[in-house]
Amino acid sequence: MSNKDLKAIKAAVKGRIQGVGYRANTHKRATQLGITGYIRNTAGNKVELVAEGKEDDLKELIEFLKVGPSGAEIEKFESEWIEATGDHIRFAIKY
């Protein structure tokens, strides 16, 4: 994919998302969609995500992030479109 076609988002999700496989399921979904980037825990029951890929794939990932896997309870979801860097090789869970 050329950098011209590459889009990117940064998202923050807060809620009951730890201990329900939120990061693992997001990793699986992003990988299936061919999205690169990362997801990681931050303080206060939050995760942060940076993702790059095709715009339609990113929109599909956003819809997943708003709901999460079974057992997740999303209290707050924020996302913004950012400039893609093309620096990511795969989608990773950062610890």
Q: What is the pTM of this model?
A: 0.93
Residue 41: the pLDDT is 94
Residue 24 phi/psi, 5-degree rounding, is -65, -45
Known catalytic residues are: 23, 41
| pLDDT tens for each residue of 70-89 | 999 999 999 999 999 999 99
52, containing H or E segment: strand 46-53
Q: How far is CA 73 from CA 22, 41, 86, 91, in A?
A: 10, 16, 32, 23
| CA-closest candidate to residue 36, choices 58, 14, 56, 21 | 58
More confident residue, 54 or 4: 54
Determine how many CB atoms are found less than 10 A away from the CB of residue 77: 15
Least confident of 11-15, 17-21, 24-28, 29-33: 17-21
Q: Which residue has the tokens 């997001």?
A: 26
Domains of the chain, by residue range, sit at: 7-94
Mean pLDDT of the chain: 95
The two three-digit tokens of residue 69, written as one number? 């896997």
Q: Round to the nearest angstrom and report the end-to-end CA distance of the chain.
A: 28
Q: Looking at the domain 7-94, which fold is it? A: Alpha-Beta Plaits (3.30.70)
Integer Cα distance of 11 and 43 in angstroms: 15
Mean pLDDT of 46-65: 97
